[in-house]
Structure 1
Amino acid sequence: MQRYNILWADDEIDLLKPHILFLSKKGYDITPVNSGADALEKFGEQSYDVIFLDENMPGMSGLEVLSQIKTMRPHVPVVMITKSEEESIMEEAIGAKIDDYLIKPVNPSQIVLSIKKLLEQKRIISEKTTQSYQQDFRNIMMAFSEEMNHDEWAEVYKKLVYWELEMESTGNQSMADVLKMQKDEANVNFAKFIMRNYEEWLNNPDIEKPLMSHQLLRKKLFPKLTNEPTFFFLIDNLRYDQWKVLEPLLAEYFNLEQESTYYSILPTTTAFARNSIFAGVLPAELEKIIPNFWQDDEDEGAKNNNEKDFLQYQLKRNRLEHIKFSYHKIIHQNQSKTLVENFSNLLHNQLNVVVYNFVDMLSHARTDTEMIRELAPDEAAYRSITKSWFLHSPLVDMVRKIAEKKCRLIITTDHGTIRTTKPYKIIGDKNTNTNLRYKQGKNLDYDKKNVFVCRKPEALHLPKYNVSTSYVFTTEDYFFAYPNNYNHYVKYYKDTFQHGGISLEEIIIPYVELIPK
């Protein structure tokens, strides 16, 4: 056990010798002093792991000593011990960044508990996390051997994300490799599950199936619309784990009414999934709403210029054309600031749709910019940047205003992303699309292992550009690479976040309903 150095200042320190003896036997090294001045002198001479301060000492009070200690070394934990239970003293101590607060008379067990809470909490939680995950590991592995349904797959994915975030928060990475192996195994099995069931989900109305992109607004959003304003935020590329790091930030303003997940359609890209969300139909049917919609596939980003029209179509189709709504797409920060400045105008609408493209831009910037790659080398850093963006974006101001006006807030996304690590050779002609996780075209040449092949696009309700068009989707963490200049291509795209294919991270995504506090 690690020995900790503890400085204890109390004008009646001689009366605390039994406590000090008890703590010494527990493995703690105690330096006793009987005044605030002596405490500061000792504190300046050597390092201590924790300080115990009597609040009411002659000369310098405990609060005065606390203030100087926090100025000198703000990260050293300080525990205030006092006879007084006056609220003003407690508030002053909390305001001075006290780390714990004990009321006299204290017993040795209270002291030990406070030390453990301040100095050993992380270790204890870490050990407990590892132990709990080891127990759950077996349950998750056993689930892979059974025939799980779509809800059970969502629960498995949530569990894996939970353990990933727990290990990250405790700093214990001893089981990280085991968890990664289990997540990889989950994605192998999940891809097989999707390949077995996806076509039937889209074509058989009588089977049990997950909620999917084209059903999302009709089944989840529209029933919640009232005469009061509802704000619908679609944050592009927001994975479930990224939502979980944003959740505590929103908890200051909102209560979580419901957190659920739904399944993105294939391909898991903005052009397909997001248009299906707003139109309420599958990709092949988009042509019926906007003729020639799929004719020019050169610029995939341009495919999302009709979302407002698609939303209007779906509202009308569901006999909700009377709903007054607004639609805003935020690509640049100044657009977000303008939206916040004009917030009061949005309160006249029953539905306000806001599409945020930041996370999507972050994933592309990470691919294209070396500095961003270094800032976000893995999933944990990627989550951290997402959290930092949210905290410093005008979106926070918007969230505050929504909460102040007691409006409902819904947050979702169109698809997630996965960090790709394994190249997969494919050959296509010049008209083949550029996405790294799926390819559509004619005369595609590839190894048929570890991919989902669709030779009849109409079976998956996908647009068919010519008679021989086929689609090929990567699974797990593969990404497509062309044989020409192969090594350069692999080096450039390896360890980048991509979407379009089949993985838990891309397909199982959050839908969250929040109500103001």
Structure 2
Amino acid sequence: MSLATILWVDDEIESLQSQKIFLQNKGYTVHTLNNGFDAIDFVKEHYIDVVLLDESMPGITGLETLQKIKEINNQIPVVLITKNETENLMDEAIGSQISDYLIKPVNPNQVWLSLKKIIDNKRLVSEKTNTAYQQQFRNLFMALNSSPDYNEWMDIYKKLVYWELEMEKSDSPEMREILQSQKQEANTEFFKFISKNYAGWLNPKTSNAPVMSHNLFKNKVLPTLEKGVPTFFIVIDNLRYDQWKSIQPIFAESFRIAEEDTFYSILPTATQYCRNAIFAGQMPIDIEKQFPIQWKNDEDEGGKNMFEEEFFKGQLKRLRREDIKYSYTKVVHHHDGQQMLNNIHNLLSNDLNIIIYNFVDMLSHARTEMEVLKELAADEISYRSITRSWFEHSPLHQALKKIADKKINIVLATDHGSVRVKTPYKVIGDKQTTANLRYKHGRNLNYEAKEVLAFRDPKEAGLPTPTVNSSFIFAKEDGFLCYPNNYNYYVNYYKNTFQHGGISMEEMIIPVIKMTSK
């Protein structure tokens, strides 16, 4: 069996016969051609693993041939073989995505090493990843079983995300499966941990509680404000930690990442609760007391996040920081993004600029509404990839690049994450029961106690009581809550979609990142 199929293109190919035999003896299949035109036709019709390409050939040069080959198949690795090492030639070649270059006269071992590096690189990276994860597996297993506290949970989740991203380099479905089942096991334990500790964290007398939505501003944003340096507090709605990791390299091109941290979203992990809590600096039960007209429960008519700026003014007043000069921008449509982009320089005179960006939320909801997005974001890998692609071309990225040369601080955070749901749980409720898939509240809820975390008294979870005798339930792990009527239809419709509102590491342990100008 051939190790790989090589195409070697050189106008003096006859003089390279000994090299060809050397590579064939090493197990490669080698095709040889003496001009670029034939090479282009050959690549159109045959599967090739690597092209070895002479740079200076009569008729059509190596660089022109390279460009045509890349147009046919961008993925084929090309090794450029050149007589001269002039800088602009190298720049042009590297800009055209060569995988390696060799200077003539080439030595057979040199060619062989280059091929080995290109062809084996994928396999070696994959093997190294698998071995490293196997060594880590035991440590993660032990960490899970040593009753972790909230800091250790954040650590465990970050490690699992790290391995999930590393596994993308690996082509071992078995290892991915092992990681997935370890992540599932972690979520099972995480649910027990939240069930046991959540209500306690909300007790004002508790000194040992994590940073959560309602004290995020006070603990993470306020301390970064400094005189004469504008701080941008950017909330990208529904951004999981792994999605942050996929856009991190784009931020790192323009900014220095000073602190990469996580915090806990409150329950339900849904925009109208978490984001209002972030801006009000209060739990929903207190927001409702202070702003009875503006606070809207799930079943109330009207927008649920219309009053964030009003809530924020209330928070500044309580913190006695009404001196802060701030702006508030909300991007819900592409048009809002363009406006923000055009206005970004005017924001530099403020102490604080709040930018709320709704993209990821629109995507995850659309993910259930639109069949095409079900295809595009079918799993975590593609969900991350869409997020990265969106951010790279977003007005937000363009706006931040525009001011990257100014002295600014950025705090990037989110309101909650999301989880891909797979396990349906039956819930029976009356007409007033809410429609959310990961949490519900209503008066006469019937459910399996072990499938949810229930608060018969919403006050214990810091939540308003929408109607007398209302209780709240939150789905665990990858569960979603369905009514018995039309059960099979809804189960099939929502299975494998990204949802939020319940209890999972993906929804609750979410990023807060501090960045500064380089």
State whether TM-score is above 0.5: yes
Contact between 1:261 and 1:508, CA under 8 Å: does it hold in 2? yes
Identity across matched positions, percent: 53
Corresponding residue number in structure 2 for 1:194:
194
Residue 201 of structure 2 is aligned to residue 218 of structure 1: no
CA offsets 1:426-468 (integer angstroms, 9 cap, x no match)? 2222222222211222232212112112123222222123552
What is the CA distance between 1:177 and its match in structure 2? 2.2
Corresponding residue number in structure 1 for 2:350:
349
- 1:285–1:24 Cα change, 3 Å: same
Letter in 1 for 2:484: P
What is the CA distance between 1:44 and its match in structure 2? 7.8
> Counterparts of 1:351-500 in structure 2 under 5 Å?
351-500=352-501
Contact between 1:9 and 1:32, CA under 8 Å: does it hold in 2? yes
**Structure 1, unpaired ranges of 5+:** none
| Larger displacement relative to structure 2 (142-151 or 109-118) | 109-118
Corresponding residue number in structure 1 for 2:248:
247
CA offsets 1:308-364 (integer angstroms, 9 cap, x no match)? 111122222223211111111111111111121222221221111111112112222
| Larger displacement relative to structure 2 (304-313 or 457-466) | 457-466
Contact between 1:167 and 1:173, CA under 8 Å: does it hold in 2? no
Residue 137 of structure 2 is aligned to residue 137 of structure 1: yes
Residue 23 of structure 2 is aligned to residue 23 of structure 1: yes
Contact between 2:454 and 2:471, CA under 8 Å: does it hold in 1? yes
CA offsets 1:214-244 (integer angstroms, 9 cap, x no match)? 1111111111112222212111111111111
Corresponding residue number in structure 2 for 1:185:
185
CA distance in 2, matches of 1:82, 1:492: 57
Contact between 2:294 and 2:307, CA under 8 Å: does it hold in 1? no
> Counterparts of 1:118-197 in structure 2 under 5 Å?
118-197=118-197
| Larger displacement relative to structure 2 (413-422 or 373-382) | 373-382
CA distance in 1, matches of 2:486, 2:45: 62
Letter in 1 for 2:194: I
CA distance in 2, matches of 1:87, 1:469: 72
Letter in 1 for 2:161: V
CA offsets 1:252-272 (integer angstroms, 9 cap, x no match)? 322322211110011111121
- 1:199–1:110 Cα change, 3 Å: farther
Contact between 2:426 and 2:483, CA under 8 Å: does it hold in 1? yes
Contact between 1:78 and 1:98, CA under 8 Å: does it hold in 2? yes
CA offsets 1:392-448 (integer angstroms, 9 cap, x no match)? 332222122232434322221000111112121222222222222112222322121
CA offsets 1:30-72 (integer angstroms, 9 cap, x no match)? 3456776886787688654322234456776544554554456
What is the CA distance between 1:85 and its match in structure 2? 3.1
CA distance in 2, matches of 1:246, 1:165: 12
- 1:116–1:250 Cα change, 3 Å: farther
CA distance in 2, matches of 1:200, 1:104: 71
Corresponding residue number in structure 1 for 2:81:
81
What is the CA distance between 1:125 and its match in structure 2? 1.5
Contact between 1:402 and 1:408, CA under 8 Å: does it hold in 2? no
CA distance in 1, matches of 2:330, 2:2: 54
Contact between 2:241 and 2:509, CA under 8 Å: does it hold in 1? yes
What is the CA distance between 1:201 and its match in structure 2? 1.5
- 1:161–1:44 Cα change, 3 Å: closer
| Larger displacement relative to structure 2 (124-133 or 278-287) | 124-133
Contact between 2:125 and 2:169, CA under 8 Å: does it hold in 1? no
Contact between 1:271 and 1:301, CA under 8 Å: does it hold in 2? no
Contact between 2:52 and 2:78, CA under 8 Å: does it hold in 1? yes
- 1:108–1:242 Cα change, 3 Å: same
What is the CA distance between 1:88 and its match in structure 2? 2.1
Letter in 2 for 1:114: S
Letter in 2 for 1:490: V
CA distance in 2, matches of 1:437, 1:157: 20
Letter in 1 for 2:189: N
- 1:59–1:384 Cα change, 3 Å: closer
- 1:424–1:57 Cα change, 3 Å: closer
CA distance in 1, matches of 2:503, 2:64: 60
Letter in 2 for 1:218: K
Aligned length, in residue pairs: 517
Letter in 2 for 1:91: D
CA distance in 2, matches of 1:444, 1:40: 67
What is the CA distance between 1:99 and its match in structure 2? 2.4
Corresponding residue number in structure 2 for 1:52:
52
Letter in 2 for 1:53: L
| Larger displacement relative to structure 2 (430-439 or 259-268) | 430-439
- 1:119–1:448 Cα change, 3 Å: same
Contact between 2:474 and 2:502, CA under 8 Å: does it hold in 1? yes
Residue 79 of structure 2 is aligned to residue 117 of structure 1: no
Contact between 2:195 and 2:453, CA under 8 Å: does it hold in 1? yes
| Larger displacement relative to structure 2 (36-45 or 215-224) | 36-45
What TM-score do you get using the length of structure 1 for normalisation?
A: 0.91
**Structure 2, unpaired ranges of 5+:** none
CA offsets 1:177-203 (integer angstroms, 9 cap, x no match)? 222211111110000011111111121
Corresponding residue number in structure 1 for 2:306:
305
CA distance in 1, matches of 2:510, 2:11: 59
CA distance in 2, matches of 1:158, 1:377: 22
| Larger displacement relative to structure 2 (91-100 or 306-315) | 91-100
CA offsets 1:267-318 (integer angstroms, 9 cap, x no match)? 1111211111111111211134313454654248723111111112222222
What is the CA distance between 1:130 and its match in structure 2? 2.1
Corresponding residue number in structure 2 for 1:103:
103
| Larger displacement relative to structure 2 (54-63 or 254-263) | 54-63
CA distance in 1, matches of 2:302, 2:137: 41
| Larger displacement relative to structure 2 (342-351 or 19-28) | 19-28
SS state at 2:161 partner = helix
Contact between 1:451 and 1:473, CA under 8 Å: does it hold in 2? yes
TM-align CA RMSD: 2.7
Contact between 2:224 and 2:409, CA under 8 Å: does it hold in 1? no
